[in-house]
A and B are shown apart, each in its own frame.
Chain A
Amino acid sequence: MSDIILDVKDLSMSFFTDQGELPAVNRVSFQVEKGRTLGIVGESGCGKSMTSLCVMRLFPSPPGRIVGGSILFHGQDLTKLSKKEMRAIRGKGIAMIFQEPMTSLNPVLTIGKQLTEAIMAHETVSKAEARARALHMIDLVGIPMPEKIYASCPHQLSGGMRQRIMIAMALSCKPDLLICDEPTTALDVTIQAQILDLINRLKNETGTSVMMITHDMGVINEMTDTVLVMYAGQVVEYAATGELFSRPSHPYTTGLIASIPSLDREEEELNVIPGAVPMLYELPEGCLFCPRCPYATDRCRKERPELSEIAPGHQVRCFRYSSDGKEERP
């Protein structure tokens, strides 16, 4: 398959702190195909944002350092690039939008200045061309009166508008990959629907691949083609989105889905996962999920399971599934 844009293999990133080496991203592998959307889901501290920041090489360093694995973007290993080479890829090849649009825009520069800056940094265009492109992008993300917005400062815009500007900026250099880190968490539901719709529409028009990082299973279901479920820095399940919801297999995934109140069903009590996410400096010895797992056995407490393929393209990190794909229920 030649249309794999991003191929992450065994990526590990650790923070080196007073408490020792903390594995924030622990041997994570995934691929993003052209024009497709990959979702990464998990709770706070599971390493989903850190994984995306590794791809952008934007994680705090020091104390963070990539300790193993590779990130192949169009066959080029991003972990080996110099700072200058990486800067040429950010914005041009891979663009990113963040959760809080207010803190990712410069409050003292006009929207127009910020948009043209991005375009002129990556392409040799005249100021007039950059301005025309910026106005086109503002129009493309569905903001009326682009001229007026072009001259405004971020504080004059609403949260939804700011996020649209972030998307316009991210897509202005036609990146091959767009990383969205919780793009709608800070927004209201009706605005969230608008923004998700916009990301989908632009993805289809420009053929950009998307990495969608979220904690919302509903967003995962509606937006993504494949999903990575992360827990304490590890991938615990990796599958096509339809497959994941029809056959969630890791106890963490099933627990996570079951703990969401439904709009349809009525239940007296919500399903809960006992315990809490472990801190990176007190990770259990065996399977990272075993202290909270209802199926944990002695083996789980001693050995760490590897990812095993239980169906084509469906990987699960759990001893309940042996390598030949059969489910072993105790």
Chain B
Amino acid sequence: MNGALSGANLAHIRKRRLKSQMFGALCGAAAFIAVAILLTLIGKLLVDGLNRVSWSFLTSMPSQMFPAKAGIKSSLVGSMWVMALTILFVVPLGVGAAIYLEELQTRENWFTRFVRINIANLAGVPSIVFGMLGLTLFVYVFGFGKSILTGALTMAILVLPMVILVSQEALKAVPKSFREASLAMGTTQWQTVRRVVLPNALPGILTGIILAAARAIGETAPLIVVGAVGLVTFLPDSVDDRYTVLPLQILDWAQHPRAEFKTAAAAAILVLIALLLVLNSAAIIIRARAQKKV
């Protein structure tokens, strides 16, 4: 009887092991497919576009007449304006809201609950909806027109929930004992937040801001709605100017019937990916260094 039991057990163990191995193989295949798709994509882009990437590609205006000379100057500068202004708007709002929710209004009441639920929901709203909001609010109600200012404000509200949530996490990660020690010395809440909590939470907050910047560079749909335009023949010199952005330039070239523009599109995508990689790497490095310190 004992032997029969152990025989059944052995078969059972073998079956479970087999299942486990299959599970491992399937997960491995899934990971491999994800990486293979990404590598194929980047490989194809490198083949198509790498020859086209050069300093003059970055510093020439787009050209309809001479595709070989076309560059991304106007769209790259436009993207930089939008990104810089977005960060300018979103940092005080996002970090301020996070500090309020985590440091000042720590007691749960209907208001904080309401704000929290809204932020969590906003983070899941499709970006095009923010575009419609921006069009109504900034273009028409506030009368900012289809300007860089409108584009950046729209992007700022788009990434705001993300910045708040990441900043909240960063603030939560600062040990409570730090705050208590500081307050026990007789400091005010302002002094504690500024001198103790914020410096410790800074790497996490910075990571969030950089990821938000990356999002602001990559988004296209809401900017088309609020007035980024296919072709601008000048560089913006104030926030009231019209503008174009890199993803829109890529879209334009990718849809063009002439093959030379496909190459330009591939090259522009490479530049965009390089920018995003730099931003994301910066976020990872900052996080890694912060973790080492703790």
Chains A and B bind each other: no
The interface of chain B, by Cβ under 8 A from chain A, is none
